[in-house]
């Protein structure tokens, strides 16, 4: 007896499979981040202990490298517009391959090592915006959340596995490690050369994604660039200062387990929550995302193993909501090419991270001097509660429209 093919119901949504090029980019994103985080987290140790650079010089070099990696993202848009997304990625991977290869002779020369690090940072600044733009090129806005969340999972998986994979080699045989990483980047770059070229421009006829309100809608006054600055600013307090707080109160092993669990939750949670995040309005995403971060900061401040673990999980949920929604909104609201949009988002992230580093150091020092490190987390929690309110209140009055105004916007113009 022949089986009858099930008929699709009106409410069913068909999810198109990823293309071969998209699957390759997702796999490449994992390998690229795996290779990068096999060495970059140990850079301060290599520069200080192996090459004898002073800590002040090391801090300055790392600050410059971070500035290039984040602020340099704004160059990705013009470069991709001129040479195309595939060639932009190839150029970025060539820079990173050359940088990691230069570390092999650079292990005996501080000048070569610093130059190699700056090459790697320049390649990272150019690659990520072009990579994300290629992923979403020609994809309707409703499908972008799934791709960007999968990309985020691939990057976070590489970030989690890179440091422990390289730990046995990074101090004993760093030359062999850098040679392997350079070879990995060369292979991934060769694969990129086989990708089909893609148009860098955002499709002009793409429909708005679910939950996204365009210019003139109630959320139009929210700037994704500014929200990204504030989101990263709030998040980086956790990133920078959890170790200082958690290790003395628990153990280094427990802190490592929290970071591993955090990475695993990101990898699994991002794709699972992608469609829900895309369907949220922007104000709702801010309330949920910053609310989760505030609850997480409060839980960490409560102290103990359970508080730190629960706090990390809540902050992870906040990161998933805010970071993905910011990228989706930035794409939906801009007429620029996606590479330029993602480049500006990288710049916003860099500004937020820099501000958190400056403010957080002073704040944590003051809390410790007062004998209450928990007060630091209480202040950060309060910031997470107040920031979304400030962002929502700064919308101009014309953007706080009611049903009558929204209905009027649907009337076709002349």
The CA distance from 407 to 182, in Å, is 57
Q: Considering the domain boundaries, does residue 323 fall inside one?
A: yes
Q: Considering the domain boundaries, does residue 129 fall inside one?
A: yes
Quick one: 87 and 43 in the same domain?
yes
CATH number for the domain harbouring residue 368? 1.20.1250.20
What's the pLDDT at 407?
36
**Crossing angle for the helix pair 252-279 and 144-170, to the nearest 10 degrees:** 170
Q: Considering the domain boundaries, does residue 152 fall inside one?
A: no
Q: Considering the domain boundaries, does residue 257 fall inside one?
A: yes
Quick one: 166 and 264 in the same domain?
no
Range of the domain at 344: 224-395
Quick one: 237 and 164 in the same domain?
no
**Rg value, the chain, Cα:** 22
Q: Are 197 and 86 in contact (CB under 8 A)?
A: yes
Overall domain count for the chain: 2
Quick one: 170 and 34 in the same domain?
yes
The CA distance from 215 to 384, in Å, is 26
Q: Considering the domain boundaries, does residue 279 fall inside one?
A: yes
Q: Considering the domain boundaries, does residue 202 fall inside one?
A: no
What does the CA dihedral 403, 406, 411, 414 come to, rounded to 10 degrees?
A: 140
Quick one: 177 and 231 in the same domain?
no
Q: Considering the domain boundaries, does residue 339 fall inside one?
A: yes
What's the pLDDT at 165?
77
Quick one: 186 and 258 in the same domain?
no
Quick one: 233 and 170 in the same domain?
no
Distances from the Cα of 75 to the Cαs of 92, 187, 193, 347, in angstroms?
Answer: 12, 25, 21, 10
The CA distance from 370 to 275, in Å, is 45
Quick one: 183 and 271 in the same domain?
no
Quick one: 178 and 305 in the same domain?
no
* Exposed e or buried b per residue across 280-302, where buried means at least 16 C-beta atoms within 10 angstroms of its C-beta: bbbbebbbbbbbbbbbbbbbbbe
Quick one: 229 and 94 in the same domain?
no
Quick one: 50 and 178 in the same domain?
yes
Q: Considering the domain boundaries, does residue 7 fall inside one?
A: no
Query: Is the pTM here over 0.85, yes or no?
Result: no
Quick one: 25 and 103 in the same domain?
yes
What's the pLDDT at 4?
46
pLDDT tens, N- to C-terminus, the chain (414 residues): 444 444 444 444 556 678 888 899 999 989 998 888 888 877 877 888 788 888 778 878 887 888 888 888 888 888 888 888 899 999 999 999 999 999 888 888 889 999 999 999 999 889 988 888 888 887 887 788 888 888 888 888 888 888 787 777 766 788 888 999 999 999 999 999 998 876 433 334 444 433 344 443 334 567 899 999 999 999 988 888 888 888 888 887 888 788 888 888 988 888 888 889 989 999 999 999 999 999 999 999 987 899 999 999 999 999 999 999 999 999 888 888 888 888 899 889 888 888 887 788 788 888 888 888 888 999 999 999 998 888 877 655 444 444 333 333 333 333
């Amino acid at each position: 007896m022949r089986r009858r093919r099930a008929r699709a119901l009106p409410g069913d949504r068909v999810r198109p499979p990823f293309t071969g090029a998209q699957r390759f980019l997702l796999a490449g994103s994992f390998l690229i981040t795996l290779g990068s985080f096999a060495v970059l987290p140990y850079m301060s140790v290599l520069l200080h202990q192996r090459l004898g650079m002073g800590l002040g010089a090391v801090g300055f070099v790392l600050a410059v490298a971070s500035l290039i990696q984040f602020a340099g993202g704004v160059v990705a848009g013009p470069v991709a517009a001129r040479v195309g997304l595939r060639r932009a990625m190839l150029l970025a991977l060539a820079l990173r391959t050359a940088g990691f290869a230069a570390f092999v002779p650079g292990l005996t020369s501080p000048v070569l090592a610093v130059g190699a690090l700056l090459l790697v940072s320049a390649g990272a600044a150019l690659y990520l915006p072009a990579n994300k733009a290629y992923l979403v090129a020609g994809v309707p806005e409703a499908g972008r959340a799934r791709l960007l969340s999968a990309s985020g999972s691939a990057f976070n998986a590489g970030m989690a596995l890179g440091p422990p994979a390289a730990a046995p080699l990074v101090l004993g045989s760093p030359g062999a490690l850098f040679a392997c990483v350079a070879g990995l980047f060369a292979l991934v770059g060769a694969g990129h050369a086989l990708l089909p070229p893609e148009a860098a421009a955002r499709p002009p006829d793409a429909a708005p994604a679910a939950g996204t309100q365009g210019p003139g809608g109630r959320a139009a006054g929210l700037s994704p660039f500014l929200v990204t600055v504030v989101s990263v600013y709030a998040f980086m307090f956790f990133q920078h200062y959890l170790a200082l707080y958690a290790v003395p109160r628990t153990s280094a092993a427990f802190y490592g387990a929290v970071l591993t669990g955090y990475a695993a939750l990101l990898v699994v949670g991002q794709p699972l929550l992608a469609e829900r995040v895309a369907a949220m309005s922007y104000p709702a995403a801010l309330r949920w995302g910053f609310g989760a971060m505030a609850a997480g900061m409060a839980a960490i401040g409560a102290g103990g193993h359970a508080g730190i673990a629960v706090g990390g999980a809540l902050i992870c949920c906040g990161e998933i909501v805010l970071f993905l929604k910011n990228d989706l909104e930035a794409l939906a609201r801009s007429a620029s090419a996606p590479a330029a949009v993602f480049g500006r988002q990288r710049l916003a992230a860099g500004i937020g991270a820099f501000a958190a580093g400056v403010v957080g150091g002073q704040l944590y020092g003051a809390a410790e001097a007062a004998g209450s490190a928990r007060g630091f987390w209480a202040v950060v929690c309060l910031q997470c509660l107040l920031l979304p309110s400030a962002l929502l209140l700064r919308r101009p009055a014309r953007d706080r429209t009611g049903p009558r105004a929204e209905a009027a916007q649907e009337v076709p113009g002349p």
